[in-house]
Amino acid sequence: MVSKKRLAKPKAYMEEDREERERESKYGKNYKWIALSNTTLGALMSAINGTILIISLPAVFSGLGVNPLIASNIALLLWLLLGYMLVSGVIVVTIGRLSDMYGRVKLYNIGFAVFTVGSIGLYISSLYITGVNGALSLVLLRLVQAVGGAFLFANSVAILTDAFPSNERGKAIGFNQIAGIGGGILGLILGGILSSFNWHLIFLVNVPIGIVGTIWAYLALHELATIKKGQKFDIVGNVSFTLGLTLILLALTYGLLPYGTNTMGWKSPYVIGGLIAGILMLLLFGMIELKAKYPMFKLALFKIKAFAFGNISLLLAGIARGGLQFMIIIWLQAIWLPLHGVAFSQTPFRAAILILPLLFGFLIFGPISGYLSDRYGARLFSTLGMTINGIGFIMLAFVPAEFKYAYFAVIIFIIGVGQGLFAAPNTTAIMNSVPPEQRGGASGMRATFTNISLIFSIAIFFTLLVVGLSAHLGPSLYSGLIAQHVPVSEAARVSHLPPTSALFAGLLGYNPMKSLINSTVLASLPSSNQSYVIGKIFFPTLISKPFHDGLALVLYTGAIMSFIAAIASALRGKKYIYGEQ
């Protein structure tokens, strides 16, 4: 029976039906499912890699023998965390444009191969290179992976959009988004589990997936997009965009490091100059693109409400989500688990298990919302999802630092539900709103917003956390050390520990007291006090209250961003599919 909607818009649906019949006759009825399974595998692998290191850092730094309290080593830690997203975020729009020019499947295949080579290099490096050189090697190889990941990010959703008719895209993208966002959460869990056995395995886990995916993509995927001849590459536009975004993201990254006597680098002329220069370059990019005959990205797409508001809400949702994951890991690994008697070596594994409700919420509601959005559109589900997400943030802000796990689990499950409701409908609406010949560029821009949101998130939330931590960390350390009979002068000196160092020490499962307190002073303490000061309880107890003060500020900010994202989702308008209106 033909639906009323199909009778109302016969030409658009007849054309789409014709294209689907041609695809099935040429590549078989199951081709769209082959495309879905392969791109989902690529999205899963890339997303896992984006987060697997966050929770594994204690084991990695310990295995390399790198001291996390040295300022230059903190920079290495930041690059390990953010370098992958920085590189992939910067180049993914360019790759999307190249995909529209030369073929999405071809560049997707290249991405799988490059990513796999980077994974193999990381595993080998982790086995044979240690110390600071080992960390530098991991950073550089992660950047190689990022290039491959950018090829995958830019093309997977575009390939799906080409392969599926509009009335099935939400369902298909729903499964792909489970891999993309759920894979990020799964990466945290895998990192915790693998690092507790052998930290080298976190770099090996992607290798078999990458080898299978590379061969499978080369043999099974086919180019469905129509490639227009005679298109030229916009060199000036690409350079201005890449340089502008790189300057901004580098400035945000180095703003997290101490500068002079300041606990963070936001007053550094290099950071300020980088932000200003980056913004000016992006403004120049906009002027260039408006006049270019073959622009890198057609800015006119932002005139489409579904595309513009979809990407705005995507960026805000990504900022809220990324910051939440990072803060929950610090909360669990640095404070809650040690206070419950868990050894620092076991905190990554235990933290991975404790955040499972977040993943379950997403896995349950992600595909449901994608399926329903095919029928009812994205606005209801994406708006509801971000509203639930914001409510979950507020609820989490009222959870004390020393909490009952059942209450905590329910709240992060609710947050996972909100993120699941939002993800697939929003992405489907973005991709449905653009012309077929511009899906590569549109997918690249969507991936850019996704990738850079994590860097913005850590920059914003980490700064807020340090602001909240700064007011009480020093007095808490001082009074705690005095209570353990540490001399006044030594307690005063140690209490000036920068909040940034304290947070990274906590993230890495590292009690800094043994390194910070003068060895002679430490040896002079009564044995019971000495054991307590360098044990697993002392430092987490001292930073618990200051950390929670900063965390509340972070969570309220995340809630505000979620509610703004909900408003942006509501403003996208009614269901819109390009060519059917």
Spatial CA neighbour of 378 closest among 209, 555, 563, 576: 576
pLDDT(450) > 70: yes
- Min mean pLDDT across 231-235, 496-500, 505-509, 541-545 is at 505-509
| Confidence label for 430 from pLDDT (cuts 50, 70 and 90) | confident
- Of 173-177, 249-253, 494-498, 541-545, the least confident: 173-177
pLDDT tens by residue, 340-379: 888 777 777 788 788 889 888 888 888 888 778 878 888 8
Highest mean pLDDT among 11-15, 56-60, 223-227: 56-60
The set of residues, in sequence order, having a beta carbon less than 8 Å from that of 380 and lying 6+ positions away, is none
Of 473 and 296, the one with more pLDDT: 473
Lowest-confidence region among 69-83, 384-398, 483-497? 69-83
**Which pLDDT value is given to residue 579?**
60
Statement: the pTM of the whole predicted model exceeds 0.75 = yes
What residues pair up with 259 in beta bridges, in sequence order? 262
More confident residue, 404 or 225: 404
Q: Chain-wide mean pLDDT for the chain?
A: 82
- The total of other beta-carbon atoms located within 10 Å of residue 3's CB is 9
Count of beta carbons in the 10 Å neighbourhood of residue 512: 20
| Arithmetic mean of pLDDT, 306-318 | 89
Q: What is the mean pLDDT of residues 216-240?
A: 79
pLDDT value of residue 25: 59
Residues 6+ away with beta carbon under 8 Å from 536: 338, 341, 342, 343, 344, 511
Q: How confident is the model at residue 15 (pLDDT cuts 50, 70, 90)?
A: low
Q: How far apart are CA 268 and CA 256, in angstroms?
A: 11
Question: Residue 512 above 70 pLDDT?
Answer: yes
**What's the rounded mean pLDDT across residues 2-25?**
52
Contacts (Cβ under 8 Å, ≥6 apart) of 382: 310, 313, 421, 422, 425, 426, 429, 566, 569, 572
DSSP state string for 510-579: --THHHHS-HHHHHHS-HHHHHHHTSTTHHHHHHHHHHHHHHHHHHHHHHHHHHHHHHHHHTT-S---TT
Residue carrying the six token digits 């101490």: 258
Q: Take residue 581 and report the two structure tokens written for it.
A: 């209106």
**pLDDT score recorded for residue 276:** 94
The stretch 501-517 carries a mean pLDDT of: 75
pLDDT in tens, 157-178: 788 878 888 777 777 777 776 7
60-64, 155-159, 507-511, 552-556: which has the minimum mean pLDDT?
507-511
The token pair that represents 395 in the structure block: 């609820």
* Position 121 pLDDT exceeds 90: yes
Domain ranges of the chain: 234-293
pLDDT at 75 over 80: no
When mean pLDDT is compared across 218-227, 329-338, 381-390, the lowest value belongs to 218-227
Is it the case that residue 7 has pLDDT exceeding 60?
no
Query: Hey, what amino acid is at 519?
Result: S
pLDDT in tens, 89-105: 788 878 877 887 888 88
Region 121-136: mean pLDDT is 91
Tell the residue number behind the tokens 């939440």, with chain if given. 324
pLDDT in tens, 516-575: 888 888 888 888 888 888 887 888 888 888 888 888 888 999 999 999 999 999 988 777
577 has a pLDDT exceeding 70: no
- pLDDT, residue 3, reads 43
- Characterize 137-164 residue by residue with b for buried, 16 or more Cβ atoms within 10 angstroms of its Cβ, and e for exposed: bbbebbbbbbbbbbbbbbbbbbbbbbbb
Higher-pLDDT residue of 469 and 63 is 63
The pLDDT of residue 125: 93
370-412 pLDDT tens trace = 778 878 888 889 999 999 999 999 999 998 888 889 999 999 9
Q: Is the pLDDT of residue 22 over 90?
A: no
Cα–Cα dist 517/361, whole Å: 44
Q: From the centroid of its chain, how far is CA 65?
A: 27
pLDDT at 19: 60
> Which pLDDT value is given to residue 414?
94
